[in-house]
Structure 1
Amino acid sequence: MGFLADALSRVKPSATIAVTQKARELRAQGREIISLSVGEPDFDTPDNIKAAAIEAIRRGETKYGPVAGILPLREAIARKFRRENGLDYKVSQCIVGTGGKQILFNALMASLNPGDEVIISAPYWVSYPEIVALCGGNAVIVGTTAEHDYKLQPETLEKAINSKTKWVILNSPSNPSGAAYSHDELKALTDVLLRHPHVWVLTDDMYEHLVYGDFVHATPAQVEPALYDRTLTMNGVSKAYAMTGWRIGYAAGPEKLIRAMDMIQGQQTSGACSIAQWAAVEALDGPQDFIAESRKVFEGRRDLVVSMLNQAAYLSVHRPEGAFYVYPSCAEALGKTSEGGRTIESDVDFVTALLEEQGVAVVQGSAFGMGPNFRVSYATTNETLAKACGKIQVFCAGLR
């Protein structure tokens, strides 16, 4: 009998972390490495949010709080959903976790039984299928296409649903593709779900505020109120407010699910960091100017990266609606050989050769369930992006 749990055999290490580690190793050897692999805003947390945290420390807000989150934060979350999404949740329907991952873990742990299925569209955030596996469920991966901008189509969703389906996870805007569902696109999906009352919706809206141009964010329970009683709407302060290290995610949904998640979290970590929670109150209730300013910067970066990569040989990039990622296809590069002599047989070969020969770190699309692509994070300066994209152009030009 082995010592480690059998469940670990179903889980793969995070590919994004693996790429970051490889880049660190090369950098430690003295190589100049440009990393476009990390999904983290490069902006600092706004000063008013920092000040709120410092004031909370001075007030002595350093004790254990309620497992589900301090009351002022849950009230702020309810106000946020009402103000920005037209969703009416009571405080008892809101929960705070140590980042979005804990929200996902708690929801799936509270609801999945062996054999239950969770529909996830590819490309997907790397943690979705692994969290499903750790919680005892089976991830059902359904494909999307570049022609549909990597968005799940209603007919594909319909075919994937069966009597074992417990959840469908929707992520808009998407990590890794940046694709975001319009109101009408979501309505086509929710129409399918109305026909299957046993299927719940877990919507990951973490990049909600990072949408560009005239695009308007929508979320399933808002688009189809009939799904309200079987939807968990998840969000957080990490991306919109540049608070990744503060580790605050939150969600709202039916009370029976929130109570179950509260019970699990009470035996797991208890409440999230009290100081980070008070900072999150200020993030949600305080001035929102920072979001518009950072959104404008990100939109310019997106346009720069899409333009430069579409000029690279053998690459094809669609212009995403949101988040801070692009997801180029490198299908035309397969079968070619790099200047360093590596045969490009997969997206893993492509990103490995790019890192070793040009010092640019990106993540292979196969890590997100769909290749041959790679993910580029443009959460860095225009100067860095232009330099990195120039190196990618050089790399592609050298393929033979």
Structure 2
Amino acid sequence: MTFLSQTVARTKQAATLAMSQKARELAAQGRDVIALSAGEPDFDTPDNIKQAAWEAMQQGRTKYTPVSGIPELRQAIVDKFRTENGLLYTPSQTIVCNGGKQVIANAMIATLDPGDEVVIPAPYWVSYPETVAMCQGQPVFVPTMAETGFKMTPEALDAAITPRTKWLIMNSPSNPSGAAYTEAELKDLAEVLRHHPHVWIFADDIYEHLVYGDFRFTTMAQVAPELMDRTLTTNGVSKAYAMTGWRIGYGAGPEMLIRAMDKIQGQMTSGACSIAQWAAREALSGPQDFIATSRAVFEQRRDLVVSMLNQAKGLECHTPEGAFYVYPSMARLIGKKAPSGRRIETDEDFVLELLQAEAVALVHGTAFGLGPNFRISYAAATDKLEESCLRIQRFCGNLTD
């Protein structure tokens, strides 16, 4: 009899966290490691947000909160969706969670029965399929291509839907590819979903504010209001406000679903940290200047990284619309020999050999469901990005036949 559950056995360790740990271990040996494996802004949380947290502590707001969040934050979420996205929710249609991951987990636990299917475009964030599998659901992957900007086509979506499909998970802009769907592209996908009324939409908008150039962000419930009654629109303060450690995510959707998610969360963690909730309220309601400033820096970094990677021998890097990731292909390097003498047969071989040879930590694309690619997070200081790209260029140049 095995002590650990089958859930543990079928759950994979997050590749992003595993690579970050490898980078820490190499750094502990004295190597000058540049870790570009984690999706975490290098900026500090804005001072007004930290001040709001301090004031909350001074005012004794350190007790348990309602499971779904303090009323003030839930109202701020309602206001944010109305002013920024044109979506009309009530506070009872919102929920505050311990990070974006808990929004996903709450929704999946509340709705999935064994064998239910969830359509997930690939490449995908590593936690989507694992969360579905932990709930005994079945992930159904829809591969995308660089030629289509790593975006799912309406035809591919339609082909993936079956009578057992419960959810479609949409992440735009995307982790790991940075791909973002235009309003027209979302409308085309919505047209497919109109013909499948049993399919719900999970819109993960965590990178909403990180879009570049003339790109205009829109979300599914915004472009297809008739789907709003089966859409869970989710977001958080981690990426746009550099608040990853504060652990506040939130969602809005039909009250029936929100009540079910509240029930699940009440038995698992109860409410999110009270102090972090007051900080998040300030993030959503206070000055928004930080977003434009950081977005301009991220756009400059994106352009730098894309340019330098496309100068590396054997790499091809698509220019993404948003987030802070690029997802280059290293297909032309398959079969090459690394300086260690090892033959590179997979994208995982590539990132492991790069880590040993040049002390740059990346994440291989097959961990995100689509290779041979790798993900670089450019949420790091510009000088480190430039140095890491020079090291990648050198590594690629040193590969032999």
TM-score (norm 1): 0.99
Q: Please give the alpha-carbon distance, in whole angstroms, between the structure 2 residues aligned to 1:359 and 1:252.
A: 42
Matched with 1:98 is 98
Matched with 2:382 is 382
User: What is the 5 A alignment of 1:23-38?
Assistant: 23-38=23-38
SS at match of 1:250: strand
Matched with 1:369 is 369
Q: In the alignment, does 2:54 pair up with 1:54?
A: yes
* Residue type of the alignment partner of 2:225: P
* Residue type of the alignment partner of 1:145: M
Matched with 1:182 is 182
Matched with 2:271 is 271
Question: Percent same amino acid at aligned positions?
Answer: 66
Q: Please give the alpha-carbon distance, in whole angstroms, between the structure 1 residues aligned to 2:282 and 2:7.
A: 39
Residue 221 of structure 1 deviates from its aligned partner by 0.4
Q: Please give the alpha-carbon distance, in whole angstroms, between the structure 1 residues aligned to 2:9 and 2:228.
A: 36
Partner deviation per Cα, 1:87-133 (whole Å, 9 max, x = no partner): 00000000000000000000010000111000001000000000001
Partner deviation per Cα, 1:297-353 (whole Å, 9 max, x = no partner): 000000000000000000000000000000000000001101221211000110011
* Residue type of the alignment partner of 2:384: T
* Residue type of the alignment partner of 1:25: E
* Residue type of the alignment partner of 2:275: I
Matched with 1:165 is 165
SS at match of 2:63: coil
* Residue type of the alignment partner of 1:148: T
Q: Please give the alpha-carbon distance, in whole angstroms, between the structure 1 residues aligned to 2:171 and 2:60.
A: 37
Instruction: Compare 37-46 and 26-35 and name the one that shifted more.
Output: 26-35
SS at match of 2:303: helix
Q: Please give the alpha-carbon distance, in whole angstroms, between the structure 2 residues aligned to 1:362 and 1:333.
A: 16
Q: Please give the alpha-carbon distance, in whole angstroms, between the structure 2 residues aligned to 1:236 and 1:311.
A: 35
* Residue type of the alignment partner of 1:293: T
Q: Please give the alpha-carbon distance, in whole angstroms, between the structure 2 residues aligned to 1:363 and 1:125.
A: 12
Partner deviation per Cα, 1:157-178 (whole Å, 9 max, x = no partner): 0000010000000000000000
Residue 7 of structure 1 deviates from its aligned partner by 1.5
Q: Please give the alpha-carbon distance, in whole angstroms, between the structure 2 residues aligned to 1:23 and 1:265.
A: 34
Residue 199 of structure 1 deviates from its aligned partner by 0.2
C-alpha root-mean-square deviation of aligned residues, in Å? 0.5
Matched with 2:44 is 44
User: What is the 5 A alignment of 1:80-91?
Assistant: 80-91=80-91
Q: Please give the alpha-carbon distance, in whole angstroms, between the structure 1 residues aligned to 2:65 and 2:245.
A: 19
Matched with 1:287 is 287
Partner deviation per Cα, 1:218-259 (whole Å, 9 max, x = no partner): 100001001000000000000000000000000000000000
Residue 8 of structure 1 deviates from its aligned partner by 1.6
Matched with 1:121 is 121
* Residue type of the alignment partner of 1:282: E
Matched with 1:260 is 260
Partner deviation per Cα, 1:185-237 (whole Å, 9 max, x = no partner): 11111110010000000010000000000100010000100100000000000
| Unaligned segments of structure 2, at least 5 residues | none
Q: Please give the alpha-carbon distance, in whole angstroms, between the structure 2 residues aligned to 1:373 and 1:288.
A: 35
SS at match of 2:80: helix
* Residue type of the alignment partner of 1:113: D
Q: Please give the alpha-carbon distance, in whole angstroms, between the structure 2 residues aligned to 1:268 and 1:390.
A: 46
Partner deviation per Cα, 1:1-44 (whole Å, 9 max, x = no partner): 21111122221000001101111111111111111111000000
Alignment length, in residue pairs? 400
Q: Please give the alpha-carbon distance, in whole angstroms, between the structure 2 residues aligned to 1:228 and 1:208.
A: 18
Partner deviation per Cα, 1:352-376 (whole Å, 9 max, x = no partner): 1100001110000000000000000
SS at match of 2:335: coil
Where has structure 1 moved over 3 Å in runs of 4 or more?
none
* Residue type of the alignment partner of 1:319: T
Q: Please give the alpha-carbon distance, in whole angstroms, between the structure 2 residues aligned to 1:326 and 1:116.
A: 32
SS at match of 1:367: helix
Q: Please give the alpha-carbon distance, in whole angstroms, between the structure 2 residues aligned to 1:58 and 1:26.
A: 42
| Unaligned segments of structure 1, at least 5 residues | none
User: What is the 5 A alignment of 1:341-356?
Assistant: 341-356=341-356
Q: Please give the alpha-carbon distance, in whole angstroms, between the structure 1 residues aligned to 2:48 and 2:312.
A: 42
* Residue type of the alignment partner of 1:11: T
Q: In the alignment, does 2:75 pair up with 1:79?
A: no
Q: Please give the alpha-carbon distance, in whole angstroms, between the structure 1 residues aligned to 2:185 and 2:359.
A: 39
Matched with 1:332 is 332
Matched with 2:136 is 136
Q: Please give the alpha-carbon distance, in whole angstroms, between the structure 1 residues aligned to 2:268 and 2:217.
A: 33
* Residue type of the alignment partner of 1:72: E
* Residue type of the alignment partner of 2:347: D
Matched with 1:108 is 108
Matched with 2:207 is 207
* Residue type of the alignment partner of 2:84: E
SS at match of 1:267: helix
SS at match of 1:142: strand
TM-score (norm 2): 0.99
* Residue type of the alignment partner of 1:257: L
